[in-house]
Structure 1
C-alpha cells in the first residue's frame, strides 16, 4: 500500500534544498510517495503551513534550517521560531532541524523548546545520513547526528546542573561579550551577573578567576 508523505523543506539555499530533494527521492522506499514543497524564508514557510492547515492537508515532515531570513513583520526571527510555530499548529508533524550551529547552548535550547524528531548538524551531514534520518524519523524517532549525541552524552554524564541563565552567560562569554554588557542581554542586574559568574567559577573549578579558563573548562564538559 502506498504511503503518501507530505514534506515541507525550509532553507534559504536552493542548491542545498535540491540536494535534500534528490537524496530523499533517490533513497525512498518503494511504497513511499513524496510530495515536497519548498520555502526559502520565514514568510514562505508560514504561508505553506497556514495553507496546509486551511485545506486540512497538514505536513507529515518538516525540514527546518535554523538560519533563515526573518519574516517581514519581524514576528518570526529564524527557523527556530518557525519550528516552534509548527510544533503547536502541526502536532502530528515530524520536525527535522538542520543547522550549522554546533554550540551546546543552541543545541540545548532547540531540544528544550522544540524537541525535534530529527536534529542534524550540517557539517556532519552526508546524503546517507540524511536518508537514514528521514526513515528513522518516520518509523522510530528521534534521530540525532553525531555532534548532537556527543553533546547530550557529555551533559548527561556531567554531575553539574546549570540553569538557563547560567547557560546563557557561558554562551555569551564564549562569543566575546564583556561582563559589563551581560546584564542587558539577560535582563538582570550587574551584581546578579557577578554572583552567577562566581557560582560558575566554583562549579567549573576556575582558580585563576579568568573568563577564558571558565569557557575552556565548561567546553570540556559540553556546556559551551
Structure 2
C-alpha cells in the first residue's frame, strides 16, 4: 500500500467534501489517501509549515479565492501555492478556480507553474479522478479552458508581454488609465505608450478603452 499525503484548501467545506469523496471512491487499490483540509489562508499556512517540518505533502489543492490571512500577508491561494513551492519543492501543486479570464490563467501558469490547473466550470468527478492520477505520475494536467488560453498565449506571446496583459486585464475590470500606476511598476507616460502600441496591434482606431478591451477579448487575452 502507498500512503499519499494530501492538502485540500477551499473556503467552501462542501466543495472539499466533494473532492474527498471523489478521490476516495476512485483511488487505485494500492493507494491510501491521508487528507488534511483548510478553509482559509491562516489554517492552510499552519498545515504547510507543519508538513514541511515533518512529512511533506505529496499533492496540494489550492482554491485561488480565499479569505486572506489575519496579518494580510497571504492574500489568496496563489500566495499559498508559492509558499508551498518554497517549503516543499517536490510537492505537486494543483490550482482550482472559478476564474477563467485569460490574463488570470496566463499569470498563474507563469508564476506558479502548477502541476495541475483545473477550472471549476470544466470539472467533473471523472475529470478530477483522472487529473489526480496524472498529476501524481506524469504532470502537468490542465483542463480544457486552461489549454485553450495557453494555445492563444503561445501564438501571440511575442507581441503581448506581462505588463501589457496586466494593463488589458485592469482596464477590463474598470480601472481608469490614470489609476493604473497604482497597480503597475510603470509611469503614466509608459502606460500611455503601451496602450497606444496595443491599439495599433489590435487595429483599434478610436480612443475608447472599451474598444480596446473588446478587441483584446476577441483575441482571447481577457
Cα displacement (A) at 1:214:
1.2
| Greater CA drift, 211-220 or 89-98 | 211-220
In 2: Cα distance, 1:38 partner to 1:28 partner = 18
CA RMSD of aligned residues (A): 1.2
1:91-130 to 2 correspondences below 5 Å: 91-130=89-128
Runs of 4+ with >6 A deviation: none
Shift in Å at residue 160 of structure 1?
4.6
Q: Name the count of aligned residue pairs.
A: 222
Matched, 1:12 2:17: no
Match in the other structure for 1:69:
67
Cα deviation 1:64-91 (Å, max 9, x = unaligned):
0001111111110111000001011111
Residues 159/88 of structure 1: CA separation in 2 closer, same or farther (3 Å cut): closer
Normalization by structure 1: what TM-score?
A: 0.95
CA distance in 1, matches of 2:176, 2:157: 28
- Residue 145 of structure 2 aligns with which residue? 147
Aligned-pair CA distance for 1:196: 0.9
SS in structure 2 of the partner of residue 30 of structure 1: coil
Higher alpha-carbon deviation: 176-185 or 94-103: 176-185
Q: Deviations over 1:107-159 (max 9, x none)?
A: 11111111000000111111111111101101111100110000011221237
Q: Distance in 2 between matches of 1:146 and 1:73?
A: 36
Q: Which residue of 2 aligns with 1:59?
A: 57
CA distance in structure 2 between the aligned counterparts of 1:204 and 1:14, rounded to whole angstroms: 43
- TM-score after normalising by structure 2: 0.96
Secondary structure class of the residue paired with 1:18: helix
Pairing 1:203–2:201 present:
yes
- Distance in 2 (CA, whole Å) between partners of 1:107 and 1:78 is 15
Q: Which residue of 1 aligns with 2:79?
A: 81
